[in-house]
Structure 1
Amino acid sequence: MEVSLIIPMYNEEENIFITLEEVKKALKTYDSYQILAVDDGSNDRTLELLEEYATENPELKVLSHPVNMGMGKALRTGFEKAKGDVIITLDADLSYDPKYIKELIEELYENHLDIVIGSQYMAGGETEDIPFIRLFVSKMANRIVGYALNKNISTVTGILRAYRKEVIDSIEIESNGTEINPEILSKAIAIGYQVKEIPVKLKGRKLGESKVQFRSTTISHLLFTFYERPMILFGLIGLILSLIGIIIAIYLFYEYLMGTLDPTRPLMFVMVLMIISGIQILVFGFVATQISLLKREIYIIQKENKLMRKKLK
């Protein structure tokens, strides 16, 4: 068995040597492994230090982007060069202890799974020294996106994962940002791959600055949720509009009973507009949901096409 470990890096000069040494310790029990460090357009000494380390550590392969393109793009670059039967993805700041690598791989093989996720939010998982706002936003994002995936998964946005190479080879991955992690899960689940979580501890960053942009990350996860479950958005809007229209209708009916109803009042038009608009949006949401359900067939076709292209190379 060969293991490929991918570490996206952006301005991580303070963490490079510590992280790579810890990762090597975790991987030394495996006969064959490669470490793919992807420098995502850093403007510090990250790339220079990676190349320096690689001169004496041939198991490290350094990949780089000329400019910062996002964590998703960095992972995709790593996936393209990964040769292992198992692919591990890990943060550069040791927020997750590399000791979990072995646990992920054992779980993957012992239970014949396709993806194993390191989860800090499942029962038994922990967090330590995480700023309150970051923890709150992360928990809410995982809860919302987890609901959209319609699976009992507690941590859907985390990077600590083990994949069978077949999974990555059979999915058309498009995301460049942090939404890549739920995207992979969504497509893998739709195709029928088996996913499981194991409890881990997520620790706060010790060196360097966090690269997480809370606002953009939250927006991207919300958009992903609406894409996966359009009825969450359209159903809510449609119900609110319809409810407002019904409340207005009840009020107007009350005025009619009291003999004070004036048919020329604008409120009559507002009532009709609200009810019709609400129903139309609900119908649109239903149609969008049916289209969303067809994605599974599209992903299966993409899987077959991608695997066929690999065989023809």
Structure 2
Amino acid sequence: MKISVIIPMYNEEENVLKTLQTVEAVLTDFNENYEILVVDDGSQDNTTPLVKEYASTNSQIILLEHPVNMGMGRALITGFEYSSGDVVVTLDADLSYDPLYIPKLIETLDSAAVDIVIGSQYMEGGKTESIPFHRLFISKLANKIVGYALTGDISTVTGILRAYRREVLDSIELESPGTEINPEILSKANAVGYKIKEIPVVLKGREYGESKVKIKSTTVSHLLFTFYEKPMMLFGIVGLTLCVIGIVSALYLFYLYLIGSLDPTRPLMLFMVVTILAGNSDIDIRIRCNPDKPFKTRNISSSKGK
């Protein structure tokens, strides 16, 4: 069995050497038939020269370069296309997840007879350490919201620490350029019928450098992904919002009635009726409808670049 480990990097000069040394040591002890694919996503610091220098002493380390920053999703897709392993592991560049989890992920693939194994900090037994409160709160909320849009009881849907069987990646077409690629993979793998399992891990705050995840854009992209997966959720949210506005308007009108200053001809009366009716209609649509969304698949066995 050959193992491919894909590590996207963007301005990670502080972490390059430690990350490559640690991952290399873990893989050498576990299975010497491996490759480490570093996808430099348009770094503007010394990430590329450091990777090149380190790779000059180990032919199993492969550097793939993007001319400009294209996002985590595009970096992972590039890694998937150029990897040759029977098992593909994805890992972040700052060692937020300990590379020692790599053997556990791969062993779980076989022992549990599944197709994808996720390192989950939010399942029972998993935990987080030294993560800023606001980032942890947003991360947990995003996983709850996006997880609701996916089938299966998955606690961590946005994390990068995973192991895939090669056939999973060869049978789905990925499109997301950003961090939403991680839930996209799970959504499409679920639809095909692949089995997914989580194992508990510890997620730590980065030791060196700054996080490259932009909270606002990531949150928006995850919300958009959720609405794309389950568009009826949007109707439900809109409907609930309109109902709340209508109820508040009704309470205000009732207050005006009690003090004797209610004017039945005021536009607020019509506004209250319209918002409540519209809100109920959207919620009714959300309850009654559950459309299936088609997705693309592909077979890249004859077109994968090297």
Fold in common (TM above 0.5): yes
State the 1:262 CA deviation. 6.0
Query: What does residue 4 of structure 1 align with?
Result: 4
Deviation, 1:147, is: 1.7
The residue correspondences of 1:189-204 to structure 2 (distance < 5 A) are: 189-204=190-205
SS in 1 for 2:98: coil
CA distance in 1, matches of 2:255, 2:212: 57
2:116–2:196 contact (8 Å) kept in structure 1: yes
Distance 1:251 1:209 in 2: 49
CA displacement at 1:174 relative to structure 2:
0.6
Where 2:25 maps in the other structure, the secondary structure is helix
TM-score (norm 2): 0.89
Tell me, in whole angstroms, the C-alpha distance in 1 between the residues paired with 2:121 and 2:255. Answer: 54
Match of 2:231 in 1: 230
C-alpha displacement at 1:109, in angstroms?
Answer: 0.9
Q: What residue is the counterpart of 1:96 in the other structure?
A: 97
> Matches of residues 55-74 of structure 1 in structure 2 within 5 Å?
55-74=56-75
Question: Are the structure 2 counterparts of residues 184 and 262 from structure 1 closer, same or farther at C-alpha, using a change threshold of 3 Å?
Answer: same
Correspondence list, 1:141-152, <5 A: 141-152=142-153
| Secondary structure of 2:209's aligned partner | coil
Instruction: Give the Cα separation in 2 of the matches to 1:312 and 1:82.
Output: 13
- Residue 85 of structure 1 aligns with which residue? 86
Residue equivalent to 1:154: 155
Partner of 1:20: 20
Alpha carbons of structure 1 residues 49 and 228: separation in structure 2 relative to 1, 3 Å:
same
What secondary structure, in the 3-state scheme, does the structure 2 residue paired with 1:72 have? helix
Mapped to 2, the partners of 1:128 and 1:172 lie a distance apart of 34
Task: Tell which deviates more after alignment, 3-12 or 26-35.
Answer: 26-35
Give the superposition deviation at 1:253: 9.7
The one-letter code sitting in structure 2 at the alignment partner of 1:205 is R
Structure 1 segments unaligned to the other structure (5+ residues) = none
Deviation of 1:101 after TM superposition, in Å, equals 0.3
Q: Which amino acid aligns with 2:234?
A: L
1:218 shift after superposition: 1.3
User: 8 Å contact 2:97–2:204 — kept in the other structure?
Assistant: yes
Pair 132,267 (structure 1): closer, same or farther in 2 beyond 3 Å: closer
Deviation at 1:229, TM superposition (A): 2.4
Q: Give the deviation of 1:255 after TM superposition.
A: 9.9
**What is the Cα deviation at residue 107 of structure 1?**
0.2
Question: In the alignment, which of 297, 301, 304 is matched to residue 310 of structure 1?
Answer: 301
Matching of residue 112 in structure 1 with residue 103 in structure 2:
no
Mapped partners of 2:62, 2:132: distance in 1: 33
Please give the alpha-carbon distance, in whole angstroms, between the structure 2 residues aligned to 1:139 and 1:272: 37
Deviation at 1:243, TM superposition (A): 5.6
CA 1:30–1:282: 2 relative to 1, 3 Å: same
C-alpha distance in structure 1 between counterparts of 2:251 and 2:54, whole Å: 74
Q: Per-residue deviation at 1:233?
A: 2.4
- The CA deviation string for residues 75-123 of structure 1, in whole angstroms up to 9 with x for no partner, is 0110000111100000111111111000000000111101000011111
Report the more deviating stretch, 228-237 or 208-217: 228-237
Name the SS of the counterpart of 2:155 in structure 1: coil
Bigger fraction of residues in helix:
1
Residue 13 of structure 1 aligns to which amino acid in structure 2? E
In the alignment, residue 41 of structure 2 is paired with which amino acid?
Answer: D
Return the alpha-carbon distance in structure 2 between the equivalents of residues 11 and 236 of structure 1. Answer: 38
1:230 shift after superposition: 2.4
Q: Tell me the distance in 2 between the aligned counterparts of 1:247 and 1:188.
A: 43
Kindly tell me: are residues 105 and 268 of structure 1, through their superposed partners in 2, closer, same or farther at Cα, counting changes over 3 Å?
A: same
Name the amino acid aligned to 1:142: N
How many residues get paired?
303
User: Would the alpha carbon gap of residues 247 and 201 (structure 1) be closer, same or farther in structure 2, given more than 3 Å must change?
Assistant: closer
The letter of the residue matching 1:23 is: V
Mapped contact 2:151–2:187 kept (Cα < 8 A): no
CA distance in 2, matches of 1:242, 1:134: 31
Calculate the TM-score normalised by the size of structure 1.
0.87
Q: Is the 8 A contact 2:232 2:290 kept in 1?
A: no
Quote the Cα distance in structure 2 between the aligned partners of 1:25 and 1:98: 9
Letter in 2 for 1:226: F
C-alpha displacement of 1:280: 4.6
Q: Quick one: distance in 1 between partners of 2:15 and 2:241? A: 49
Identity of aligned residues (%): 62
Map of 1:33-52 to 2, 5 A cutoff?
A: 33-52=34-53
Give the drift of 1:312: 7.8
Moved more, 157-166 or 246-255: 246-255
